[in-house]
Structure 1
Amino acid sequence: MPSSSSRPNRRMSAKAARAVIEAADLVKAPDHRDTSRWEVRSGDLLLGHVEPSYGGASRSGRNGWIGRSAQTLIPTRRCATRQEAAAEVLLAWERQATAPRP
């Protein structure tokens, strides 16, 4: 049995995290019709959500898109497009997945 000092300091290797990110897709959430929410998925793994941000002066009230990692409720910065918000979700997920263990 390996000693605790030989355990890796990260939860996931950067190479493994990059492979998950490269396989990720932006797909409509099951409740998209009601919420306009999209999911960032890599296979069966849910990485986060992208949803409209409201409060703007446009006719619909939308002022961009925000992303939320599946591991935290803290939103990413407001983005102009769904794809930009999805990229922010992937960056946040990668930071969390490869962070050193406490």
Structure 2
Amino acid sequence: MSKKQPRNTKGKIISAAWKLFYEQGYDDTTIDEIIAESGTSKGSFYHYFEGKDALLGSLSFLFDEKYTELEAQLDQFATRYEQLIYLNQELFP
């Protein structure tokens, strides 16, 4: 197995979870739905996350990373409102 595979699997799970949380809400999304959407296995899910709450914690870490990445581009906007609109467009396409 290549070194990229584990990171790829974890990324698939996180991406699927984010998509489902956005579409259905956190409470209405099940682990089984996340597994199905990600095309992974239950074993893989529990290898990376203790449960749905642990997964949600990793999503906040991803948001922090993305905000840091986008921060450098905020100077191009004249107002805080424009900055907020930009961030929302980038985070929630």
Please give the range of the TM-score, normalised by the shorter of the 2 chains: 0.3 to 0.5
Q: TM-score, normalised on structure 2?
A: 0.33
More helix per residue: 1 or 2? 2
- Structure 1-normalised TM-score? 0.31
Q: Which has the higher strand share?
A: 1
